[in-house]
Amino acid sequence: MSIEGIQSGKEKLTSTVLITGAAGFLGSHLCDRFIREGHHVIAMDNLITGDIKNIRHHFSNPAFEFVEHDVTKHIEISGKLDYILHFASPASPIDYLKIPIQTLKVGALGTHNCLGLAKAKNARILVASTSEVYGDPLVHPQTEDYWGNVNPVGPRGVYDEAKRYMEAITMAYHNFHEVDTRIVRIFNTYGPRMRLNDGRALPAFIGQALRGDDLTVFGDGSQTRSFCFVDDLVEGIYRLLMSDYYMPVNIGNPDEISLKDFAEEILELTGNKVKIVYKPLPVDDPKQRQPDITRARELLGWEPKVPRSVGLKITYEYFRSLAPEELAKQPKEFVSKR
């Protein structure tokens, strides 16, 4: 998989990046960004939750290659490798409640394999952690120094603890093997290529509105989330990768909103005359979620730029463009919403 001699326009490609989970929502947008920046991209995904259509537009590009592979198995890459972005993981409540063992394995074995590859190739690696490491937080907003409030045996534990283990083994490789590592803690992100049936609040609300169903809010709707548009998130991730900072960094939008108010925003956006209905709050559902992005501002010069009103319109138009059969796949109710 070496790329010596491959040209992009008149400039020789200078680096190779492996992106795991590349056919997923975030992974596919990262592929777009690294291609635009002139990197050679090796996209890896086992397609358990990813969708090949998210990256098909790159297939004719000689600077892009796709490898269907499960990162919990040994990873073999020939030639040079400069960067690894480990984004392979189920990332929604429906996914990791349906495939809990795979969720744990990709966070543990998959991260171990990626770190081993980074060590062998002398490559810099960025791992995708999450705001879920904070659990149902007792500190608000959440800073990177907060250790979290996580239930390891609850229904969300397979995801939360997989990501906490990911951070621990990443730091172990950094400290013991001197691997060049980065850790990003991603807060609620939205945008085109999200799956309508992934159980998170935004696609759930929009999908319900598009079908003319009532919007389902769990609990009394007072729990909060902070939604970051995907373009802003990718910019933050890119800056973190290219920085010299190895400790965890929150990347998200601190503009906090309750789920009740967010559902009302979706109704106003779509113009649908449906109701908001309330269901019991799932076990261990976080009551508050808001990033403190002081570290990202100071170290990376990063903060979100896209207002939620703008990002929601872009995302709504994407979902509205989907075929009716895609909308029909969305379940009526969800186990949990983030």
CB neighbour list of residue 165: distance below 8 Å, 6 or more residues apart: 107, 108, 111
pLDDT of residue 97: 84
Residues 132 and 267 in one domain: no
Is residue 200 assigned to a domain? Answer: yes
pLDDT of residue 25: 97
Residues 214 and 161 in one domain: no
Is residue 335 assigned to a domain? Answer: no
Structural domain boundaries, residue 99:
7-188+229-251
pLDDT of residue 332: 45
Is residue 16 assigned to a domain? Answer: yes
pTM above 0.75, yes or no: yes
Residues 122 and 266 in one domain: no
Residues 152 and 22 in one domain: yes
Total structural domains within the chain: 2
Give me the CATH number covering residue 51. Answer: 3.40.50.720
**pLDDT tens by residue, the chain, 338 residues:** 322 323 333 344 579 999 999 999 999 999 999 999 999 999 999 999 999 999 999 999 999 999 999 999 999 999 999 999 999 999 888 888 899 999 999 999 999 999 999 999 999 999 999 999 999 899 999 999 999 999 999 888 999 999 999 999 999 999 999 999 999 999 999 999 999 888 788 999 999 999 899 998 988 889 888 999 999 999 999 999 999 999 999 999 999 999 999 999 999 998 888 899 998 877 767 778 899 999 999 999 999 999 999 999 999 999 999 866 565 555 444 333 33
Give me the CATH number covering residue 281. Answer: 3.90.25.10
Residues 95 and 196 in one domain: no
pLDDT of residue 327: 59
Residues forming the active site: 159
Residues 80 and 220 in one domain: no
pLDDT of residue 272: 83
